Amino acid sequence: MNEEKNTPSNLENVKELLAKHQLVEDLVHRQDMPRHDLVEGVLHKQHLAELRTLLERVPLAEIASIIEALEPEDRLLVWYEVREERGESILEILSDEVRQDLIGDSHYRNEKTTITAFELRNGRLSQIAVNTPSDLKCLKPIWVDLVAPTPEIRAWVGRFFDVQLPNPSNLTDLEASARFYIEDNGEIHLHSDFLLDTKEESRNVAVALILHRDILFSVRTEELPIFRLQRLRARTQPGYVTDGKDVLLDLYAADAEYSADALEDVYAALEDVSKHVLGNVVTDTEAAKILADIAREEDLNGRIRRNVHDTRRAVSFLVRGKFLNSDQLEDARQILRDIESLDGHTSFLFGKINFLMDATVGFININQNKIIKIFSVASVAMLPPTLIASVYGMNFQGWFPEIHWDYGYPFSLGLMLVSVAVPFWFFQKKGWLR
């Protein structure tokens, strides 16, 4: 009963802090004051510190219910203020949809060294943190995950399992043809790119995957959303994986799924750009912004295409090498079919991007042509008065009585004005000034 009473109050407190944070942020943005960035940073930290203190007092289950009750943009802000040690437990409580959104949108770009072993217990993965070589003695893992390991860590983990672990920082230096191979002792090495797509950045991260004695070893420089999501799924769903090869295939399947989600985001972004380009008169300033948006989506689409191509090569290598059993072979073929469907989407998006790029550049050319047209009309309109001024500037005696006329000078000025007005009237009537 107490928890039911506390949940609304804590939820309201969180919403109130978020509202204050947004209000102050908007006010500071609108104010023109000295040391603007410093003031904004102080206020920003103040409200987030209050939010962090509040969340520390709230039980995990209640934090999960608060996150699910918030709007998507507020969820991420609250999630960033949850202590990392509590984050994994909260993710297990959240619904699949909210969990996937949080993991996909958030990315802790730290290179904190972590070693995690996963054992299969009652059909689920059990996660064990490894800090010293002695922690491995009583374990029978099917997956050992290393994030930013030091040379010393790679050495003692490699000695214990009799496996050669590469330096994750050097994976991008390998030739494409040397990414998938088998060692003399039976180790299967796959060096693959995994997509990282957040609101701040989009890039491919190289990961080394080694299969040895039915154990999967993954080595990378940083944490990735796909790996976090797979760990949670395997921990919460019985029978999700049975050995290291299952984990490997699930990682590739998740990568294809993550790429498909990223493609949907590209579709949505290009749809907004398309409505703007085709439904409005685009100014040069707007065109510059549109071109930047299109270039960003083109870059992401290219990274997705490269990523699915790399995943196809890795899965095809596993199929050709006959490393998989019948069930795993069917899973691999399904992954390849999914990737095949993504190829058509990326090709379509490249065509749409090129069309929008050409349309936007066309608007820029139209705007420039309007400016050139104005100068052209002005040049033509100024020819008659220039001619009149030149003729009267000759001062021929006897030919032009206006020279000795008291109103001759005003008459020539009026004649020049009329000669300017007539071309403009003619161009306007023809519609050439529109």
Phi, psi at 109, each rounded to 5°: -85, 65
Query: Residue 67: its pLDDT value, please?
Result: 84
Query: Residue 109: its pLDDT value, please?
Result: 45
Q: Which two tokens mark 151?
A: 């040379």
pTM value?
0.69
Q: Which two tokens mark 307?
A: 């990523």
Q: Beta strand 188-197 with 180-182: parallel, antiparallel or unpaired?
A: antiparallel
Decide: 335 and 300 in contact? Cβ < 8 Å.
no
Q: How far apart are CA 110 and CA 130, in angstroms?
A: 19
Handedness of CA 139, 144, 330, 314 (dihedral sign): negative
* pLDDT tens by residue, 206-249: 899 999 988 999 999 888 888 888 877 777 777 778 889 999 99
Domain 114-364 top-level CATH class: alpha beta
Q: Which two tokens mark 385?
A: 């008065």
Q: How far apart are CA 287 and CA 363, in angstroms?
A: 8
Decide: 179 and 163 in contact? Cβ < 8 Å.
no
> What distances in angstroms separate CA 142 from CA 193, 270, 311, one per listed residue?
22, 42, 22
Q: Which residues touch 239 (CB under 8 Å, ≥6 apart)?
A: 123
Q: How far apart are CA 294 and CA 354, in angstroms?
A: 9
Decide: 420 and 381 in contact? Cβ < 8 Å.
yes
Residue 142's identity, in one-letter code, is I
Q: How far apart are CA 284 and CA 368, in angstroms?
A: 9
- Residue 37 zone, left/alpha/beta (φ > 0; ψ -120 to 50; rest): alpha
**Measured in whole angstroms, how far is the alpha carbon of residue 283 from the centre of its chain?**
26
Residue the block writes with tokens 């099917």:
142
Crossing angle (nearest 10°) for helices 72-80 and 60-69? 150
Q: How far apart are CA 158 and CA 150, in angstroms?
A: 12
Q: Which two tokens mark 268?
A: 């949505």
Q: How far apart are CA 371 and CA 101, in angstroms?
A: 48
Which stretches of the chain score pLDDT less than 70? 1-9, 24-45, 47, 84-85, 88, 100-101, 103-111, 172-177, 391-409, 430-434
Helices (H), 31-113: 36-56, 60-69, 72-80, 84-93, 96-105
Domain 2-105 top-level CATH class: mainly alpha
Q: How far apart are CA 202 and CA 374, in angstroms?
A: 43
Q: How far apart are CA 149 and CA 208, in angstroms?
A: 12
Q: In the chain, where are the structural domains located?
A: 2-105, 114-364, 382-430
Q: Which two tokens mark 373?
A: 């047209």
Residue 367's identity, in one-letter code, is N
Q: How far apart are CA 188 and CA 217, in angstroms?
A: 10
Residue 353's identity, in one-letter code, is I
Query: Residue 31: its pLDDT value, please?
Result: 54
Q: Which two tokens mark 132?
A: 């010293």
Query: Residue 397: its pLDDT value, please?
Result: 58
Query: Residue 209: its pLDDT value, please?
Result: 94
Helices (H), 212-325: 225-236, 244-279, 284-320
